[in-house]
């Protein structure tokens, strides 16, 4: 009898903890698919602007039309080179739940580390795009920066 009560208690605890866990995996999965579509659009000719534009909100569509998108695609190719791969770096949700930020670190043939920042609205539509080169600081530069920050605090 004690074993039966113990088993029932364990099952109930597991069921209750599964209900209480928060999960953003559905939103993150949608947003990752949108990012994958963007990466395919800038790195290959397989994805057209029209196919990618379905995943953008109206504000981004106004800023990034087909002509501007082609310019972006050419700039990425010229400045960063050929796309190699990318990895999810950060998924961040605002406290109000109306905005998500997804960051990837990508590597290209000319630039080893490029931070790709994507903003999403509450409907999981892409609202912002940013591409930044990540530069490593050597130990001496990092120490100087740290000393300057400490001096500024005093």
Q: pLDDT by residue (tens digit) across 49-73? A: 899 999 999 999 999 999 999 999 9
Residue 118: DSSP 8-state = E
Residue 94's pLDDT band, with cuts at 50, 70 and 90, is confident
The pTM of the full predicted model, rounded to 2 decimals, is 0.71
pLDDT tens digits for range 103-131: 999 999 999 999 999 999 988 899 999 99
Tokens 């903003």 appear where?
119
Question: Over pLDDT 90: what percentage of the chain?
Answer: 50
The structural domains of the chain, ordered by start, are 23-136 (3.10.450.540)
The pLDDT of residue 23: 54
Tokens 């920042």 appear where?
117
pLDDT tens digits for range 14-43: 777 666 655 556 778 889 999 999 999 998
Residue 129: both structure tokens together: 């795009």
Assess contact for 126 and 46: CB atoms under 8 A: no
Residue 126: both structure tokens together: 């892409």
Assess contact for 114 and 108: CB atoms under 8 A: yes
Residues 6+ apart with CB under 8 A from 140: none
User: Is 151 buried (19+), middle (13-18) or exposed (0-12) by CB count in 10 A?
Assistant: exposed
């Amino acid at each position: 009898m004690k074993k039966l009560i113990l088993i029932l208690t364990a099952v109930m605890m597991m069921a209750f903890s599964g209900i209480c866990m928060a999960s953003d995996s559905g939103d993150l999965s949608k947003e990752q698919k949108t990012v994958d579509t963007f990466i395919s659009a800038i790195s290959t000719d397989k994805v057209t602007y029209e196919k990618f534009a379905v995943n953008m909100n109206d504000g981004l569509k106004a800023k990034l039309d087909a002509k501007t998108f082609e310019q972006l695609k050419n700039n990425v190719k010229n400045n960063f080179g050929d796309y190699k791969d990318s990895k999810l770096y950060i998924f961040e949700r605002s406290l109000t739940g109306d905005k998500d930020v997804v960051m990837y670190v990508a590597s290209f043939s000319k630039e080893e580390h490029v931070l790709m920042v994507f903003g999403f609205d509450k409907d999981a539509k892409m609202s912002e795009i940013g591409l930044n080169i990540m530069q490593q600081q050597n130990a001496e530069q990092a120490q100087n920066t740290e000393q300057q920050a400490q001096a500024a605090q005093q």
